Amino acid sequence: MQGMSERRYAAHAGLSRGAIQKAKAAGRLVLHADGSIDPAASDARRAATTDPSKSRVAPRQPVKPVPDAALSAVGDTLREQGLSAPAIGGGTTFLQAKTANEVLKAQERRLRLQKMKGELIDRARATAAVFRLAREERDAWVTWPARVAALMAAELTAALGDGIEVEAALMQKMLEAHVRAQLDSLAEIRPGLG
């Protein structure tokens, strides 16, 4: 026999014989011509083709560290969904990272669907529309005193009687001052689209 038997390789790999038989049937093991298992080549092929989330055996090679920013993003995503998340540097597990990834993919799909349905709009377009509407409203108020000053002056003159006359120009000047003051106070309001 050139290589190892299924039973010996199972002991070598720390797996059950059934798991080795499944790997053999799936073509994840390298076999010699006599049907025995080449341990070094099989270890390499299994490592390359096995999903770490489905492995019960701890990886033998050292795992390179994950940046704190990535771990922080995983934690934030898990917390947003009401799931427990470890502190930064507290040892995020592969399962937690995979869960966060699936949550993010689901959120991305939901947003894409909402956009296709027309439930979401482009932020720049919304900001431009709000700005345009506010500009039109301001322009309407700026021209309002000139349109109504003469009419208001005539109504006040008629209401006061006794020969008291209200000048249209003075009324327009006063209205413009008050409208401008009101518009200045409204200009300080900033719509929050965030």
The pLDDT tens digits for 34-43 are 989 999 999 9
Low-confidence ranges of the chain (pLDDT < 50): none
Place of tokens 């720390």: 14
- How far apart, in whole angstroms, are the C-alpha atoms of residue 21 and residue 24? 5
For residue 99, the model assigns a pLDDT of: 78
> In whole angstroms, how far apart are CA 159 and each of 95, 154, 175?
81, 9, 19
Please check whether residue 168 is in contact with residue 150, taking contact to mean a CB–CB distance below 8 angstroms: yes
For residue 105, the model assigns a pLDDT of: 86
For residue 65, the model assigns a pLDDT of: 61
**pTM for the whole structure:** 0.40
For residue 34, the model assigns a pLDDT of: 92
Query: What SS3 class is residue 11?
Result: helix
Nearest residue to 9 (alpha-carbon basis) of 53, 18, 56, 33: 18
For residue 9, the model assigns a pLDDT of: 93
Element (H, E) at 52: none
